[in-house]
């Protein structure tokens, strides 16, 4: 009998406890479309042996659209600062510059071009530097002394263009 009373009391206590409601949720998703653009980068080039410099074009933007009011595009221009050889362990150092209307200015690896948003939601076809100048081309320069110490072989250098969406505050 005690067991029956204990069982009845346990059931009574359980019935007095508040019942928790099952929580359900709804997930809401949305997609913010990415702006569209076509980035054209300079073509591969061949530098002549003992040339003091070679010119590389600048990237341009075409068919851009969908940039929000505070959105714009940046393109980082990165380089190693040296030609390297697959067959020897030597390098040929170079200096990298941006050519502008006011002359050459040094270009550090990773410096960015800014493509500003226009009223129609596109961006400017030509990028400008942080100081507002627009590069007409890039120039790679190698000193005579660097050529004189270079071992025979084929050397390569890569210039990497990395586009990234950015936002003004």
pLDDT at 140 over 90: yes
* Average pLDDT of the residues of the chain: 91
Q: How confident is the model at residue 23 (pLDDT cuts 50, 70, 90)?
A: confident
Output the pLDDT for position 87: 85
Which tens digit of pLDDT belongs to each residue from 80-102? 999 999 888 889 999 999 999 99
Contact 92, 103 (CB under 8 A): no
Q: How far is CA 61 from the centre of its chain?
A: 14
In this structure, of 5-9, 63-67, 86-90, 106-110, the range with the lowest mean pLDDT score is 5-9
CA nearest neighbour of 81 among 143, 37, 11: 143
Task: Report the alpha-carbon distance of residue 65 to residue 11 in Å, rounded.
Answer: 68
pLDDT at 46 over 90: yes
Task: Report the alpha-carbon distance of residue 24 to residue 44 in Å, rounded.
Answer: 58
Question: Facing residues of 97 across strands?
Answer: 106, 139
Output the pLDDT for position 22: 76
pLDDT at 167 over 90: yes
pTM of the full structure? 0.80
Contact 117, 67 (CB under 8 A): yes
Contact 135, 100 (CB under 8 A): yes
Burial per residue of 3-37, b for 16 or more beta-carbon CB atoms within 10 angstroms, e otherwise = eeeeeeeeeeeeeeeeeeeeeeeeeeeeeeeebeb
Close Cβ partners of 42 (under 8 Å, ≥ 6 residues apart)? 56, 57, 58, 59, 138, 159
């Amino acid at each position: 009998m005690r067991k029956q009373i204990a069982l009845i009391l346990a059931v009574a206590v359980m019935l007095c406890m508040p019942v928790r409601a099952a929580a359900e949720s709804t997930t809401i998703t949305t997609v913010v479309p990415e702006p569209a653009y076509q980035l054209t980068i300079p073509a591969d080039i061949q530098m002549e042996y003992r040339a003091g410099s070679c010119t590389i074009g600048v990237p341009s933007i075409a068919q851009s659209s969908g940039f929000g009011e505070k959105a714009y595009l940046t393109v980082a221009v990165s380089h190693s600062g040296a030609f390297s050889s697959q067959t020897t362990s030597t390098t040929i150092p170079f200096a990298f510059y941006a050519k502008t209307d006011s002359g050459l200015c040094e270009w550090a690896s990773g410096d960015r071009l800014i493509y500003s948003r226009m009223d129609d939601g596109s961006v400017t076809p030509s990028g400008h530097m942080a100081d507002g100048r627009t590069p007409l081309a890039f120039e790679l320069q190698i000193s005579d002394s660097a050529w004189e110490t270079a071992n025979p072989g084929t050397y390569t250098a890569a210039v990497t263009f990395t586009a990234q969406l950015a936002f003004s505050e």
